[in-house]
A and B are shown apart, each in its own frame.
Chain A
Amino acid sequence: QSVLTQPPSASGTPGQRVTISCSGSSSNIAVNTVNWYQQLPGTAPKLLIYTNDQRPSGVPDRFSGSKSGTSASLAISGLQSEDEADYYCAAWDNRLNGHVVFGGGTKLTVL
């Protein structure tokens, strides 16, 4: 059971906008920044969003992140078939001397 809670699955049609939620607590998301990763099958994860809403170089602006209180969201607009992947949120957690916590992952299907 993951410390950060994500829906196990999400779906959308090409061109649509989808959002993936990530719920945490007062020791992680509420007081620290959130990062989002995309993982295509058989590959290493890729950083999609960092410090809540920043995109690394090369990540399309179709991807955006936000945070409010103990929750965060990843939004993907103009959905494309290549966006079909697993998405994970992560954050630093201040308990137990500090550690990183991940969400359980959301499998995004492009219909």
Chain B
Amino acid sequence: EVQLLESGGGLVQPGGSLRLSCAASGFTFSSYAMSWVRQAPGKGLGWVSTLRSAGGRTYYADSVKGRFTISRDNAKNTLYLQMNSLRAEDTAIYYCAKPITTSGLGDLDAYDVWGQGTMVTVSS
């Protein structure tokens, strides 16, 4: 069964840091670009970042650029999101997401598998 399991969320003070992890199973993790998508309480979906499978090219939302870093360990089938200088507006459920294909149309943005999400709360 294809599965994504996020961890690492919690309560952190403004200006603090957290590292989220996403453990993948049931598919060839190294072949897929992987992404993080967040959802603030009662709000819509917001894309955070994407990391390609090969070559390591990264993409970030303007709101997190320079503060968040996406990375992966293909040997451990794990995706990470290092979040620094956290702000109240970063409070959200953070989902890890896998695209439906490894290449071609939809390989960066058509997410057919999502984790259950991990909650990040930034508050003093």
Chain A residues with a Cβ under 8 A of chain B: 2, 33, 35, 37, 39, 44-47, 50-51, 56, 86, 88, 90-92, 96-105
Contacts and interface: CB of A to CB of B under 8 A. Distances in A.
Interface size class of B (residues with CB under 8 A): 20 to 34
A50 B110 contact: yes
Contacts of A90: 45, 47, 109
A35 B47 CA distance: 13
A92 B59 CA distance: 11
Interface string B85-124: 0000000000100001000011011111011110000000
Given A56-B100, A98-B59, A37 B112 contact: no
B59 A97 contact: yes
A35 B110 contact: yes
A92 to B, nearest CB: 5
B105 A99 contact: no
Among A35, A86, A105, the most chain B Cβ lie within 10 Å of the Cβ of A35
A61 to B, nearest CB: 17
B44 A100 contact: no
Contact of A102 (B44, B50, B62): B44
A47 B45 contact: no
Contact of A35 (B44, B106, B116, B117): B106
A35 B109 contact: yes
Contact of B95 (A44, A56, A96): A44
Interface string B43-55: 0111100100000
Interface of B: 35, 37, 44-47, 50, 59-62, 95, 100, 105-106, 108-112, 114-117
A105 B114 contact: no
A96 B62 contact: yes
A13 to B, nearest CB: 26
Nearest to A45: B114
5 contacts: A46-B114, A88-B45, A92-B109, A96-B62, A103-B44
Contacts of A96: 62
Contact of B116 (A44, A51, A99): A44
B61 to A, nearest CB: 6
